[in-house]
Each structure stands twice: as C-alpha cells, then as structure tokens.
Structure 1
Amino acid sequence: MPTPLSPEEIDRLARKRAGAKLGWYSHAAIYLLVNLFLFAISEYGFGHRRWSVFPLLGWGVGLAFHGISVFVLGTGSGLRESMVRKERERLQRERGDQ
C-alpha cells in the first residue's frame, strides 16, 4: 500500500501535473497554428504540390509522443503508479529474503 502524501507533496505533484498538461496544450495550439499557416502557403503560395503534409505528420508524431508521456505515462498515471508499486513490492521482497 502506498504511503499517504503530505499536503505539500500533493500540492507539488498537482502543480507538476497541471504544468505538464498545460505544456501539451500549448504545444498542440502552436502545432495547429503553424500547420494551418504552412497549409495556406502550400496551397496558395509556392509550388504546385502539397508539401505541408510532411511537417504536419512529422510534428504530429512528436505531439502524439508528448501527449502519451503526459497523459498515459506521466507522474501519477495509473500505469506508472502500478509499475512503481509492483517494483517497490518486488524490491521489498528481495530485501526481506536476504
């Protein structure tokens, strides 16, 4: 069973999680604005091919990984906490066996 967090630790963790989520939302907004601009240039500006799909896809992969790290694997996520708990229990068993 995990040890209860102090109010200071809860506040620190909440601020860290909120900051990570705000960072992703900022990243997503900039991604959208820049890619809309690139699409407009691609469609109505230079060249006859739609080249804007390449930065859209490349940056989109990075944005997806950023989202996974924040919302799935981030500090306090269910998956991460479960893995930490299992490792803690395994280490405590190994320590108790010696």
Structure 2
Amino acid sequence: MEDFSKENKYLRAKDRVERLKKFYGNLTSYVLVISALAVINYLTNEWRYMWFLWAAFGWGIGIIFHAIGTFNLNPFFGRDWEERKIKELMREDDEIKRWE
C-alpha cells in the first residue's frame, strides 16, 4: 500500500511539473512574441497606432486563464476541489454500503 501511495504522489508531482513547464513555455513565448511585435510596431509607425496591444491583450487573457488552471487559483472548481469532492463521494458511498 505504501508503494502505491509513493507512486501516486510521484505521478501527481510529475503531472504538476509538466503543467508548470507548459505554462512557463507559454509565458516565455508571450513575452518574446509581444516584444517582437512591439518593436515591429515602433519601427513601422513610431507608436502612432499601437496595434501590438491587441495581440498582447488577447493572448494575455489566455495567459491569465492558463495561470488560473496551473496554479489552482480557482477557489470553486480547482484540483483541490476535485480531490475533496471525490473523497466526499467515496465516504458517502462507503456509508451507504454499511447500511445495506
């Protein structure tokens, strides 16, 4: 049973690291691409119309939602909530079986 617990913890930690890598990769891409777009914007019209902000805003919304998912910032339906709900339902199921 202890080996199963260790393996389960390892798999959860591995999944967490994978989600973090994806988020930081996305964030790095965002910074590099938006910076490049800002430079192109400046060189073409010297900030008369800052069109790169549209891309920064749109992609930024995606980054925010990615961060919410990665760092469990959603208090209502995050990963912790899922685990608590699963345990609660398993306890209820055990109680029902005891009374049958």
- Give the corresponding residue for 1:68: 68
RMSD: 2.7
Give TM-score scaled by structure 1 length. Answer: 0.75
- Give the corresponding residue for 1:39: 38
Question: What is the correspondence of 1:80-91 to structure 2 with a 5 Å cutoff?
Answer: 80-86=79-85, 88-90=87-89
Runs of 4+ in structure 1 over 6 Å off: none
- Give the corresponding residue for 2:14: 15
Distance in 2 between the 1:90 and 1:16 partners?
24
Q: How many Å apart are 1:88 and its aligned residue?
A: 3.3
Residue segments in structure 1 that go unaligned for 5+ positions in a row = none
Give TM-score scaled by structure 2 length. Answer: 0.73
Q: How many Å apart are 1:6 and its aligned residue?
A: 1.4
Residue segments in structure 2 that go unaligned for 5+ positions in a row = none
Aligned residues with identical type, % of pairs: 26
Q: Higher helix fraction: Structure 1 or Structure 2?
A: 2
